[in-house]
Amino acid sequence: MITKRIIPCLDINKGRVVKGIGFVNLKDAGDPVELAAFYDREGADEIVFLDISASHEGRGTVIELASRTAEKVFIPYTIGGGIGSIEDIREILRQGADKISINTSAVKDPQLISRAAKVFGSQCVVIAIDAKKREDWSWEVYIHGGRTPTGLDAVQWAQEAENLGAGEILLTSMDKDGTKDGYDIALTAEISKKVNIPVIASGGAGKLEHLKDAIVEGHADAVLVASIFHYGKYSIKEAKQYLRSQGVDVRI
């Protein structure tokens, strides 16, 4: 049976991990590759790197990151943040990344999704959606790292992205992100129901029960997790053992 995935997410700025990391056993816990290799050994199912570098010189480090990761990490990894063209995608995949994730540039130019899917295959095109609840219980898509509302309905955008050839949806709830008080289950469930591609839930994980809720009630195929692992509150093994004890099929 296909298992549910646990995916640590690393925020990267100018080639370094941004959020504080609690591990003591790593030579350089600020090095994204060291940290990703550690998560591979720990049993993570995939890794997502999210580059938040604002400058062009910071962006250059992404290619190097993709390449160095390929030498040390033997699980799939995705690189996202600031990717705007087929050429960007080609270069990152050529270095050994398995998938790229696009957000703002896909909203601005939806055909980028279909072009990328045609050239590289849907399996490597992840559409990241930052969604915020509206008063009428629908969700609106935001871009530019959550700064700019688009007027787009998140559910409709997810469906359109699927039709254009997206292979997965990385769905972040802006309302829940950073709260540690659980994923947005209603949002996750709604989009999971409406698309036939895997949905990765993101934003709000604070305890292990939240992972289970996103999977069982939100019907997520995978959960993105950052701080609860980075700060060592839980290990991936603990998370998986817990999920298994709750009847969720995971790879241990």
Partner 1 sequence: MRIAIINYNMGNLRSVENALKRLSVDAYITSAPDKIMGADAVILPGVGAFADGMYNILSLGLADAIRQASASKPFLGICLGLQLLFEYSMESGKTEGLKIFKGSVEKIPAGVKVPHVGWNSIKITKTGPLFKGIEDGEHFYFVHSYHAVCRDISIVASITHYGVDIVSSIQKGNIFAFQFHPEKSSGSGLKILSNFCDLVMKGKK
- Contact footprint for partner 1 (CB under 8 A): 1-5, 40, 43, 45, 70-71, 74-76, 93-96, 98, 120-124, 167-168, 196-198, 221-222, 251
132 CB-side CA count, 13 A: 11
Active site residue 175: no
DSSP string for residues in 129-167: EEEEE-TTS-EEEEETTTTEEEEEEHHHHHHHHHHHT-S
- The answer to whether 214 and 220 are in contact (CB under 8 A) is yes
Question: What type of residue sits at position 5?
Answer: R
Residue 73 Cβ vs partner 1, minimum distance, rounded to whole Å: 9
Q: Please report which helix (H) or strand (E) contains residue 200, including its range.
A: strand 199-202
- The answer to whether 242 and 208 are in contact (CB under 8 A) is yes
Which whole-number Å values give the CA distances from 89 to 62, 75, 161, in the listed order?
11, 19, 17
Sign of the Cα pseudo-torsion (146, 15, 199, 179, in order): negative
Using the minimum distance from each CB to partner 1, give the nearer residue, 123 or 148. 123
Residue 45 Cβ vs partner 1, minimum distance, rounded to whole Å: 6
Q: CA-to-CA distance for 212 and 135, rounded, in angstroms?
A: 27
- The answer to whether 239 and 21 are in contact (CB under 8 A) is no
Residue 193 Cβ vs partner 1, minimum distance, rounded to whole Å: 12
Residue 63 Cβ vs partner 1, minimum distance, rounded to whole Å: 13
Q: Which has the closest alpha carbon to 5: 88, 121, 98, 85?
A: 98
Using the minimum distance from each CB to partner 1, give the nearer residue, 17 or 93. 93
Out of 31, 130, 184, 221, pick the active-site residue: 130
Residue 71 Cβ vs partner 1, minimum distance, rounded to whole Å: 5
| Residue 18: alpha-carbon gap to chain centroid | 16
Using the minimum distance from each CB to partner 1, give the nearer residue, 36 or 107. 36
Residue 252 Cβ vs partner 1, minimum distance, rounded to whole Å: 9
Using the minimum distance from each CB to partner 1, give the nearer residue, 10 or 93. 93
Active site residue 153: no
Using the minimum distance from each CB to partner 1, give the nearer residue, 141 or 222. 222
Using the minimum distance from each CB to partner 1, give the nearer residue, 45 or 177. 45
| Residue 173: alpha-carbon gap to chain centroid | 12
Looking at the annotation, which residues are catalytic?
11, 130
